[in-house]
Structures are given as structure tokens and as C-alpha cells.
Amino acid sequence: MINELGKKAKIAEREIRIATTQQKNNALNAIKEALPKNVQKILVANDIDLEKAESNGISKVMQDRLRLTEERIINIANAVGEIVALPDPVGEIDGGCVRPNGLRITKQRVPMGVIGIIFESRPNVTVDAAVLCLKSGNAVILRGGKEAVNSNIALAEVMREAIAPHINPDVIQLVTDTSREVSTQLMQAREYLDLLIPRGGAGLINTVCENAKVPVIETGVGNCHVYVDEFSHMDMALKIADNAKCQRPSVCNAIENLLVHKNIAEEFLPKLFELWNDKVEMRGCERSKAIININSATEEDYYTEYNDLIIAIKIVDTIEEAMSHIEKYGSKHSETIVTYCYSNAEKFQKQVDAAAVYVNASTRFTDGGEFGLGAEIGISTQKLHARGPMGLKELTTVKYLVNGNGQVR
């Protein structure tokens, strides 16, 4: 199956990589218009998935992620409109020079080629991933979670029909066989895929990294920290910790750990306890337990991405100890220091190794929209190719155009 999809994708890729922005936007607008028109078709398919999910005892949270409604479909269509409005990175010139021998070298941004996206049972990702790949001039092969297969087939059909008058519809293809074998084939399709992006939880990402033989970008694992320095304003520290933990605890840029300098802990922790006692399950080191009445944090707690209203607290003696803790337990996603000390702010930003290193702001800003990139395909937690929020530009690569008049070496 992957062979067949791969061959078609390679043909479609040659067409879309030279498409104009206008042509791509026309295709995107067609998707935007087709989605609301096909609400019934999509909801019928979604109902089949939802019924199966219920009879298979899938959790309510998962069912909610799987569920489409007319309102949700309209929101998805509107998000497509936002992508139409974004600038097209393809064709941008990233620099160049004329060499002493007269050769003119131009570094130009071009599409990746064929991108695979493996994701869980969230049908909104089906559209989102497809349109980001299309806008950036790539062919995409989508492999969504098996619980959403009927919804995904319907969405892919609607999108493919919509774009067919504008571009080869094989720029969007869906893997309808959701078996593990076919999934593994996709991860190892070196002949066809230029890039594979897993979108989902740690389990999915690990499976992909363990099995893939094509280039992969890891996304979305976030074990983030707030470090409350000894030189920090209590109100700001409470506000940032509270926002970073509670505003949306299920996402990767929410914090899982709180580090507090020993000189401020006796003042800070009781206030935090007052704020969080009813809403956050606090687990702490021995020293923090001597100040507030909370459960113990184990070694494992410090490694855990709860994605829930739970936090592990540790009192540290120095900023160096805080940075060492982050180095050991963190996932290099987003880290913040709350401080009014210039040299500690500088030290933290210089020495902490993460995609985003903050001073006096919530980690929740690590996001394509908040960073001004427009839509994002995910947040990279690896260092190769892209780090942090990945927008359209991160779905492209470069090529060198070299123009001469007979130069040889």
C-alpha cells in the first residue's frame, strides 16, 4: 500500500513543488469552502467512528477528541482560511553571493517533497496537517489513528475532490489501512518520504523514533520548569507559576515542575499552597514538605510529564542547582526563570539548553501563533532542522542555484 501511495505522491510532488502561491491558495480556498458543504457526509462517517469508540470502551476524553460537530467543522474550515492568508515561504531567497570566479550562488527555499504525518485519533489534525503541507508545496501522506479512520476517509475525500480542479489531488493521500505493519512500512519508506512528523503523545513519538528509517522531527514532549529565583517578586512568581501550570495543563508547554530557591521558599510556598491547594496536586521534596503539607515527589515524578493538574516541587540551594536539575530531568522544551537579578537572568538564558528559555514570562507562549509564525505543524523538541514551534518555513528546505558562464575547476 505504501508503495502505491508513495509512487503517486512522488508524481504529485513534481507538480506542487513548482505551483504558484495563487494556485496553492486556490486549492486551499476550495477546501475551505468544501468542508461546510460536506458537513453531513463528514458527520455520518464520524458517527460510525464514535459508535465503535463507545462500544470499544474508549475513554470519554478520547471520544471528545474524536468527535466532530458542525461547529467544529466550520472552525476547521476557518483555520484553513488563516493558512491561505499566511505568506508562502517557497521561493524566498535565504542569501547568496558572487564568488571570485564569477559564479553567482543563490540559496532559495523550496518544498521538502513528500512528508508523512502520523497522528492520533483527532480528525482536525487530518485537515490541519494536509493544508500546511499543501501551502508549503509538499505532497503529504497522512496516517491517522485507527479509531478515526472513517472520519479521515471522509475528510480526505472532501479535500481531494475540492482541490482536483486546481492541482493533482494526490498531493493529499490517506493511509486507510491502519494496521501496525503498514504504519511501519510508512516509517521506513526511504524511497518516498523526505520527512516524517509524528504528532501526538510520548508513546507515538517513541514508536516512530524507534522504528523510523526516514528523517523524523520529534514533536511535543514537554517536561517544563518554572524556577523561582531568590531575587523574585512574589506576585509575578505566583502569577507565572499558576498560568504555566493551570491555564491548560494538557499541553506540552505547560510546566510539570517547580523549582524554588531556598531563600524564598518559606515565603513563596505557603502562598502557592493557598492558591493551589484546591486545584493542583502538589508533590514535593523533603524540604518543601517541611514548609507545606504535601505528598512526596519521587525521582520518577521529576521525570514525568503529567499533562494534568499535578506538579513536582523542589527546593534548590542555588541557581546552578536549578539549572542542573533542568539539564537532568527536562525535555529541552520550555524553561523559565522568575527573577529581577540581571546576572541570574543572563546566566539562565545562556546556560539552559531548551527550545525556548524565558525570563519573567509563562512557558505557555511557546506556540506558533504566540511566536508570530502563524499556524504550526508542531513543536520540535529535537535540535535537527527545527527547534520549537514549526511553521510553514520549517516544512521547506533549500536548494542552491548556481549560475555561471562556463566555469570549471
- Under the rule (CB under 8 A), what is the footprint of a second copy? 14, 17-18, 97, 99, 103, 105, 110, 112-113, 190, 194-195, 209-210, 213, 215-217, 236, 239-240, 242-244, 247, 327, 345, 349-351, 353-362, 364-366, 370-372, 382-385, 387-388, 397-409
Nearer to a second copy, 288 or 362 (CB): 362
Q: Which is nearer to a second copy, 26 or 360 (CB)?
A: 360
Q: For residue 56, count CB atoms less than 10 angstroms from its CB and return exposed for 0-12, middle for 13-18, buried for 19 or more.
A: exposed
CB atoms within 10 A of CB 298: 11
Least distance CB 383 / a second copy (angstroms): 4
Burial call 6-30: b when 16+ CB within 10 Å, e when fewer: bebbeebbeebbebeeeebbbbbbb
Confirm if 305 and 221 have CB atoms less than 8 A apart. Answer: yes
Comparison of 81 and 215: residue with beta carbon closer to a second copy: 215
CB 158 → a second copy: shortest distance, Å? 30
State the Cα–Cα distance between residues 131 and 390, nearest whole angstrom: 14
Q: How far is the CB of 403 from a second copy (least distance, A)?
A: 5
- What cell does 109 get? 527555499
Q: How far is the CB of 409 from a second copy (least distance, A)?
A: 4
Cell numbers given for 395: 516544512
**Closer by beta carbon to a second copy, 176 or else 307:** 307
Query: Strand 139-143 to strand 172-174: parallel, antiparallel, or no bridges (unpaired)?
Result: parallel
Locate cell 531568590: which residue?
Answer: 230
Cα 21 to Cα 32, 84, 133, 167: the distances in Å are 16, 9, 13, 12
The minimum distance between CB 379 and a second copy, in angstroms, equals: 11
Residue 264 or 285: the one with the smaller Cβ distance to a second copy is 264
CB of 236 to a second copy, least distance (A): 5
Shorter beta-carbon distance to a second copy: residue 62 or 251: 251
Q: How far is the CB of 8 from a second copy (least distance, A)?
A: 15
The CB-of-298 to a second copy minimum distance in angstroms stands at 20
Is the CB of 44 or the CB of 384 nearer to a second copy?
Answer: 384
CB 235 within 8 Å of CB 264 = no
- Dist CA 308 CA 283 (whole Å): 13
Provide the minimum distance between the beta carbon of 216 and a second copy in the complex, in angstroms, as a whole number: 7
201 backbone φψ class: left, alpha, beta (φ>0; ψ -120 to 50) = beta
Minimal distance, residue 385 CB to a second copy, in Å? 4
CA distances from 354 to 253, 348, 366 (A): 12, 11, 11
Judged by beta carbon, residue 116 or residue 123, the one nearer a second copy is 116
Nearer CB in complex with a second copy: 294/345:
345
Neighbours of 326 (CB within 10 A): 25
Distance, CA of 256 to chain centre: 18
Q: Which residues fall within 8 angstroms of residue 182, CB to CB, at 6 or more apart? A: 1, 2, 143, 175
Alpha-carbon gap, residue 50 to 43, rounded angstroms: 10
Q: Which is nearer to a second copy, 1 or 103 (CB)?
A: 103
* Number of residues that make up the chain: 409
Rg (alpha carbons) of the chain, rounded to whole number: 24
